[in-house]
Structure formats: structure tokens, C-alpha cells
Amino acid sequence: MDISKPHAALLSSLGMGHLIPVVELGKRLVTHHNFNVTIFAVTSPMSPAESNVIQSCMSPKLFDIVQLPPIDISSLVDANSTIVTRLSVMMREAQPAIRSAISSWNPQPTLLIVDLFGTESLPIADELDMPKYVYVASNAWFLALTIRVPFLDKEVEGEIGSEIPKSDGILLNTWVDLLPTSLAALRDDDLLGRVIKSNPVYPIGPLTRTVSTSDGPMFDWLDMQPSELVIYVSFGSGGTLSYEQMTEIAWGLELSQQRFIWVVRQPFIGAVDAVFSRRATPPVMIH
């Protein structure tokens, strides 16, 4: 490791929806800004998908990935707790391992970047005298909602949204031309700027993952559609819906007669295929 370069420690929460954006940020820091990067990832021992993402980063190896031990929270939360609550508790309980891993790294990182569910680890940066940033891998609307509106459970929202202003800055996966009004509101002390205490918001996007060639037909179809008239539907890795909810969404999309791309995973593929079986030209679904 070239010790003359800045060394960024990136903390990824559990789940593909958090690991992949952090990995892409790490790639950008290495290839575009000449950083050394170490990613500290809280992962699940039962997730082959997470393992595949980590293995894909090894060739070529751009940075180090440290997998932190999985956390058992079965005695701390109810079995019916929401995914947001479980993730927040897991990241809180992982703090000793996070602190130990980052502080023992040699050479010690020069700054800490955490994702949305890692904000309770920001004090670790203060302990180690490092600048600290929050990486929000979504857009300015989401950031504004997170810091302003209690849209999550009161306990979880307090743990997440209120921690963001304690950082030295916010990295946002968007760009000025896409959401100029929202970004201006986040910087205006008379609006959302006072909520985040005028911490700088850096629009660093778009950060996107390289698409595999297997998705070619979908993009061929998308290129043939009218501009800005295709709906993208995806509930993320934590967006588990019931069979009935998936069926209702399928019927809603069908009856809307709108063009769309919908990310659908097992075990719901058969259900939604049945809804669209009457179409001469089926919609595009990513299974």
C-alpha cells in the first residue's frame, strides 16, 4: 500500500443493496482519485450473493475487503421485527468489531465513510481523529426525507436520520442537473440546510455497477421505447412482499398499460407471469 496516498475506510452495512454501492464508491476513489481503500463489510455467512460480489473485486484487486464477523441478534429483537429495525440493531451490535478492525489496520485510514445504516459508527472516526462522511447511495429526495420526516419507526428514524448531521459531509449518489431544486434545499440554511447544520453535500454520482452482457436484450428493448416513458420498479434486497401484494402490483402495472421494467425474484415469478400471459408483447421483467 502506498502510504503517500489518502486511505479511506468504507463501512458497508449488511445486504447486497448496501455492499454493491459501497464497492462502486471504492472503485471510484481508487481509479479516479488515487486513494487507497479498505472496505469493512458486515456480511451474512449464508449469502452466496455477497460472497460473489466480494470475490469479483479480487480480479483485478483494487482494494482490500475485510469481512466482519456476523452478529447474532436473535435475543435482542422480536422475530417479527422489520428489516430496518433488525439491520439497525445489527450494525449497533457490530460496533466493537468495527472499531477493532479499523483501529488495528496498518497503516491507519485517514478518513471514514459509512453508509446510511453505519452512522452510529461515526464516533469511531472521532476517537481515531479522522474526518467522517456519510455515503447515501440514493438521491437527494431520499436524503431530504431521511433527515426531515419521521417516515420510519420512531426509534430507528432517530438512530439514522439524526446521526447524519454529525458527519463532516454527505456523499450523495446523484448529480446537480438531475435534482437541482432538492440539492439547493439541502444547502439552504432557511430550508433543509439548517437540519444538517450546513454540512457540505457532495453530489458524486452517478455511481453505477457495470451491467453484464446477459442483460443485453433488456437494454435493446429499452432503447426502442419513447424517452422518459418507462417505469422502473424495484423494492431492493429488503423489500419482501407477500404473494397477494405482488399479484396486486402485477395487476396494477397491467391495467395501467404503461411500459415498465420490474425486478422480480423467486418465488413470485410464476405469479406475475400468469398475470401478463394475455399480452401479445410481454413487459420486461428482470428475474
Active centre residues (catalytic): 18, 115
- Closest to 93 measured CA to CA, from 117, 110, 126: 117
Neighbours of 118 (CB within 10 A): 27
Do 16 and 50 form a contact (C-beta atoms < 8 A)? yes
* Helix, strand, coil % in the chain, rounded to nearest 5: 45, 15, 40
Q: How far apart are CA 166 and CA 159, in angstroms?
A: 12
CB atoms within 10 A of CB 54: 17
Rounded to 5 degrees, φ, ψ at 91 are -70, -35
Cell numbers placing 199: 454540512
The gap between the terminal CA atoms of the chain, to the nearest Å, is: 40
> In whole angstroms, what is the distance from residue 186 CA to residue 273 CA?
42
Decide: 113 and 25 in contact? Cβ < 8 Å.
Answer: yes
For residue 24 the three cell numbers come to 462502486
Which cell numbers hold the place of 77?
429483537
Give the cell for residue 179: 435534482
